[in-house]
């Protein structure tokens, strides 16, 4: 017997937060989210992305046992900019069972219908820095801090239930050169003089940069990513969620913020120390001992994840990204980093894909979202 329960109390919320760790208990490629972030998913005082946006979580039970979870979100920002009205699904994990699959997605569809949605699509995050996209290739590769792992059967059921392909991403593993790219380094120095820009990360701490340029950094982020599939501008208190998610694990050696003569953020790059091994070891919990392991991974990383790189529209074709790449790669080589992976890059985001054309890489993972008209799951 299948039963769907809305996450309506703390006991159910704990089950919701813990369920992925149970599902992927024996999977070496799964990297858990921070348990605290999962617990705050439906709390508008903690997760500012859901403020004023209808949001619910659901658990699926089969014969009295929890066998899946899913979150549903109506993004008013997304729907205001589109003729089609959507309900997003996120945080989707369940056992290999078509009946369970249909029940969980059906719960999202029902919630969407109640809120005037025409289509269900996902997995999308609550904003663009959230985990999104379902794995379709690279099932034998470990996930990153910012991405979800999925067993192969997820993709199979999405197709079987009639969902169509939507946005697609690829993830890359980069070869690390023996010495800095001289051509990039020389080009970066010329651009600094040409555009009268400087990298403030060379002289300021991360904390100082956030205080002085935090809002301007988000302006550039929204400007750079605003036209991409499914992007929701990060504004107001939602900025605090992003800063908490990324700023706490930034190592300044792999962080670049380029400002122009008007003290505006012209470009930025965020490459994060990988904390995956620590998250796996401590099952997504920072306390009581997980935070020590995480701090060690941040201070002296062996692996890195390319999180974000953005260029203000006015500098889009200037090549100014060379300043960001030059600074970060110099330290990558000096610190003898062993592995660098990208996080998902949209296949339609040609400017980002072109930024790394000079580097040797292999595509190790692909993922995508799916879309279907409301009314065919229940």
From the CB of residue 286, how many other CB atoms can be counted at a distance below 10 Å? 17
Q: What is the pLDDT of residues 30-73, one digit of tens each?
A: 999 888 888 888 888 777 777 788 899 999 999 999 999 999 99
As a whole number, mean pLDDT of residues 246-258 equals 85
Task: Please indicate whether residue 109 or residue 46 has the higher confidence score (pLDDT).
Answer: 109
Could you give the CA distance from residue 80 to residue 315 in angstroms, rounded to a whole number? 28
Supply the pLDDT for residue 78. Answer: 84
Dihedral angle at the C-alpha atoms of 80, 81, 83, 88, nearest 10 degrees?
Answer: -70
Supply the pLDDT for residue 205. Answer: 87
**Cβ distance 359 to 352 under 8 Å?**
no
Q: What is the pLDDT of residues 277-308, one digit of tens each?
A: 888 888 777 667 667 777 788 888 999 999 88
- Predicted confidence band at 17 (pLDDT cuts at 50, 70, 90)? very high
Supply the pLDDT for residue 377. Answer: 64
Angle between helices 238-246 and 206-225 (to 10 degrees): 120
User: Which positions ≥6 away from 158 have C-beta within 8 Å?
Assistant: 134, 370
Could you give the CA distance from residue 115 to residue 74 in angstroms, rounded to a whole number? 8
Supply the pLDDT for residue 214. Answer: 82
The H or E element containing residue 305 is strand 303-311
- Predicted confidence band at 100 (pLDDT cuts at 50, 70, 90)? very high
Sequential DSSP letters for 177-236 = PSS--HHHHHHHHHHHHHHT-EEGGGTS-HHHHHHHHHHHHHHHHHHHHTTSTT-----T
Supply the pLDDT for residue 321. Answer: 87
Q: What is the pLDDT of residues 320-369, one digit of tens each?
A: 888 988 899 999 999 999 999 998 988 887 777 677 666 789 999 999 99
| Domain ranges, ordered by start, for the chain | 2-170+368-373, 182-359
As a whole number, mean pLDDT of residues 239-257 equals 79
Supply the pLDDT for residue 180. Answer: 74
Could you give the CA distance from residue 49 to residue 60 in angstroms, rounded to a whole number? 25
Could you give the CA distance from residue 83 to residue 68 in angstroms, rounded to a whole number? 32
Q: What is the mean pLDDT of the chain?
A: 88
- Looking at the domain that runs over 2-170+368-373, which CATH code has it been given? 3.40.630.30
As a whole number, mean pLDDT of residues 195-209 equals 89
- On the question of pLDDT at 152 being above 80, the answer is yes
Q: Where are the alpha helices (DSSP H) in the chain?
A: 10-23, 35-39, 76-80, 98-114, 152-160, 182-195, 206-225, 238-246, 276-281, 290-299, 321-334, 350-355
- On the question of pLDDT at 188 being above 80, the answer is yes
| Least confident among 3-12, 114-123, 247-256 | 247-256
**Cβ distance 328 to 292 under 8 Å?**
no
Q: Which of 51-65, 237-251, 266-280 has the highest mean pLDDT?
A: 51-65
Q: Thinking of the domain 182-359, which architecture would CATH place it in?
A: 3-Layer(aba) Sandwich (3.40)
- Token pair, residue 72, equals 């549903």
Supply the pLDDT for residue 294. Answer: 76
- Token pair, residue 45, equals 């005082």
Percent helix / strand / coil, the chain, rounded to 5: 40, 25, 35
Could you give the CA distance from residue 68 to residue 59 in angstroms, rounded to a whole number? 6
Q: Specify the 3-state DSSP secondary structure of 338.
A: coil
- Token pair, residue 50, equals 């859901």
How big is the CA angle at 148 (ends 271 and 218), to the nearest 5 degrees? 45
Could you give the CA distance from residue 148 to residue 91 in angstroms, rounded to a whole number? 9
- Are both 2-170+368-373 and 182-359 of the same fold? yes
**Cβ distance 60 to 103 under 8 Å?**
yes
**Cβ distance 340 to 165 under 8 Å?**
no
Could you give the CA distance from residue 326 to residue 338 in angstroms, rounded to a whole number? 18
- Predicted confidence band at 378 (pLDDT cuts at 50, 70, 90)? low
**Cβ distance 67 to 107 under 8 Å?**
no
The alpha carbon of 38 is separated from its chain's Cα centroid by a whole number of angstroms, namely 14
Could you give the CA distance from residue 172 to residue 305 in angstroms, rounded to a whole number? 10
Helices H / strands E in the chain, number of each? 12, 14
Which letter does DSSP use for residue 341 in this model? E
- Predicted confidence band at 147 (pLDDT cuts at 50, 70, 90)? very high
Label residues 73-92 b or e (16+ Cβ within 10 Å = b). bbbebbbeeeeebbbbbbbb
């Amino acid at each position: 017997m299948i039963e769907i329960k809305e996450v309506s109390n703390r006991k159910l919320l704990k089950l919701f937060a813990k369920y992925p760790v149970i599902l992927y208990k024996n999977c070496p490629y799964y990297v858990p989210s921070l348990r605290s972030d999962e617990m705050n998913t439906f709390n508008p005082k903690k997760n500012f992305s859901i403020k004023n946006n209808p949001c619910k979580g659901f658990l699926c039970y089969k014969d009295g046992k929890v066998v899946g979870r899913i979150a549903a979100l109506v993004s008013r920002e997304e729907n205001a900019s589109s003729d089609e009205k959507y309900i997003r699904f996120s945080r989707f994990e369940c056992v290999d069972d078509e009946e369970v699959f249909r029940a969980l997605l059906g719960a999202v569809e029902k919630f969407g219908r109640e809120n005037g949605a025409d289509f269900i699509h996902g997995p999308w995050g609550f904003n663009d820095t959230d985990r999104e996209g379902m794995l379709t290739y690279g099932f034998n590769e470990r996930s990153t801090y910012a991405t979800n792992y999925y067993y192969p059967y997820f993709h199979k059921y999405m197709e079987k239930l009639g969902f169509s392909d939507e946005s697609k991403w690829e993830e890359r593993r980069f070869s690390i050169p023996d010495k800095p790219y001289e051509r990039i380094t020389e080009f970066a120095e010329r651009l600094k003089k040409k555009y009268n820009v400087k990298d403030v990360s060379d002289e300021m701490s991360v904390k100082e940069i956030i205080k002085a340029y935090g809002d301007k950094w988000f302006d550039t982020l929204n400007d750079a990513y605003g036209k991409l599939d499914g992007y929701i501008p990060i504004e107001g208190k939602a900025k605090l969620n992003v800063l908490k998610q990324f700023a706490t694990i930034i190592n300044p050696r792999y962080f670049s913020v380029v400002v122009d003569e008007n003290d505006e953020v012209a470009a930025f790059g965020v490459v994060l120390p990988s904390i995956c091994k620590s998250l796996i070891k401590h099952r997504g919990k920072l306390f009581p001992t997980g935070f020590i392991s995480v701090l060690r991974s941040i201070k002296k990383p062996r692996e890195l994840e390319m999180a974000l790189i953005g260029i203000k529209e006015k500098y889009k074709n200037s090549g100014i990204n060379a300043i960001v790449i030059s600074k970060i790669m110099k330290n990558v080589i000096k610190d003898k980093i062993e592995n660098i992976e990208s996080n998902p890059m949209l296949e339609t985001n040609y400017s980002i894909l072109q930024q790394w054309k000079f580097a040797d890489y292999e595509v190790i993972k692909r993922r995508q979202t799916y879309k279907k008209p409301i009314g065919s799951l229940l």
